[in-house]
Structure 1
Amino acid sequence: MKTGTLGLLACVALAVAGCGRMGDSGMNPMRWFGGSNQPTTLDPEGGYPTQNQDGRQPIANVTAARWEPLYEGGMLVVTGVAATKGWWDVALITEVPMPSGRIRPDQNGVLRLRLVGNPPPQNTFEAAVPASPATDTITVSMTLSHSALANLREVVISGGANSVTLRR
């Protein structure tokens, strides 16, 4: 055999050895020049959150909930009354963290939501005056697509002191 052929066979043997079970070893030619920094998972760094990281507090009472039909699905409209005047940034959030726009009920067809907001700053007029149900109602809404509504049996909206269940 010629030395060129022997050298070529040695290179091929080394390349094949690096691609087998020893793919993570230094003999793998794909790792010789820094290797590949491809992620091995699609999970976010630190994993998915296990609880809702929203710092807002529950609104004291949920007073009503209803469905409004939409062409692309449905709109859930929820009304509540806070303990004091001046609550702001009120929203409906899921009890289990879900990506925005991809809200789904659990395996039993139940969607669990919380009515939350930020209270007024302490030592202000709003923080000292109790809210009046006649004038200080808070109304928020959440739209759900037809695909999110497909497996939905009921929605449970909870506040600080009570919860309202809305069946479909």
Structure 2
Amino acid sequence: MRLPVSGLLILALVLAGCGRIRESRLNPFNWFGRSQATAVVASESAVPGRPGDPRVLVADVTDMEVARQPGGAIVRATGLPPTQGWWDAALVAENNGEPVDGVLTYRFVVDQPHGGARISTPQSREVTAAAWLSDVKLANVSQIVVLGAANSRSSRR
């Protein structure tokens, strides 16, 4: 079947317009990229707003990624405490989980080990925490930041 010239022209224009999707928020490959590290001076190591919570900021945030999932995304961060035995890791959202100027911030907290702890290798000390974000929550987010005691990692769209 042969298309008339006008049909071919319309088809060419439609296909050329698809190139703009690359810059759109609808493109799943245009979501959050690789995280970048930033040095930070934490104002306090305890988790604010939770006075009974003994957890403190992890010493160093070594990795962070935002993995696209059906219906939202999973923010996963890896941290390195100073010794082995740290536990109860969590990403605690600041500002009740609401983005401020498009930036959603999490504090990476861990609980101290009970008893003596060895230093050992970095791989044996790593802790991981994750948080789920729905597509609705992500609609107003352009950057996600995970804070540690010595640094932070961020990923932007």
The alignment's TM-score, normalised by the length of structure 2, stands at 0.64
Q: Which amino acid aligns with 1:112?
A: T
For residues 95 and 74 of structure 1, the distance between their equivalents in structure 2, rounded to whole angstroms, comes to 18
CA deviations on 1:122-145 (whole Å, 9 max, x unpaired) are xx232xx22522222111110100
1:62 Cα offset (Å): 0.1
Is the alpha carbon distance of 1:167 and 1:153 closer, same or farther for their aligned partners in structure 2, counting shifts above 3 Å? same
Q: Which runs of 5+ in 2 are unaligned?
A: 1-47
For residues 155 and 146 of structure 1, the distance between their equivalents in structure 2, rounded to whole angstroms, comes to 14
Flag the structure with more relative contact order, 1 or 2, with Cα contacts below 8 A and sequence separation at least 6.
2
Partner SS for 2:84: coil
- Preserved CA contact (<8 Å) 1:61 1:160: yes
For residues 120 and 139 of structure 2, the distance between their equivalents in structure 1, rounded to whole angstroms, comes to 37
Partner SS for 1:125: coil
Count the aligned residue pairs: 108
Is 1:110 matched up with 2:107?
A: no
Q: Which amino acid aligns with 1:67?
A: V
Report what 1:94 is aligned to. 93
Is the alpha carbon distance of 1:104 and 1:118 closer, same or farther for their aligned partners in structure 2, counting shifts above 3 Å? same
Mapping of residues 69-80 of structure 1, within 5 Å: 69-80=68-79
Larger radius of gyration: 1
Equivalent residue for 2:139, pick from 150, 157, 162:
150
Q: Which amino acid aligns with 1:116?
A: V
Report what 1:120 is aligned to. 113
Between the aligned residues of both structures, percent identity stands at 34
**Would you identify which runs of 4 or more consecutive aligned residues in structure 1 move more than 6 Å?**
none
Report what 1:44 is aligned to. none
Partner SS for 2:136: helix
Report what 2:49 is aligned to. 52
For residues 133 and 104 of structure 1, the distance between their equivalents in structure 2, rounded to whole angstroms, comes to 33
For residues 77 and 125 of structure 1, the distance between their equivalents in structure 2, rounded to whole angstroms, comes to 28
Report what 1:13 is aligned to. none
- Preserved CA contact (<8 Å) 1:83 1:131: no
- Preserved CA contact (<8 Å) 2:58 2:80: yes
Report what 1:12 is aligned to. none
Q: Which has more helix, going by share of residues?
A: 2
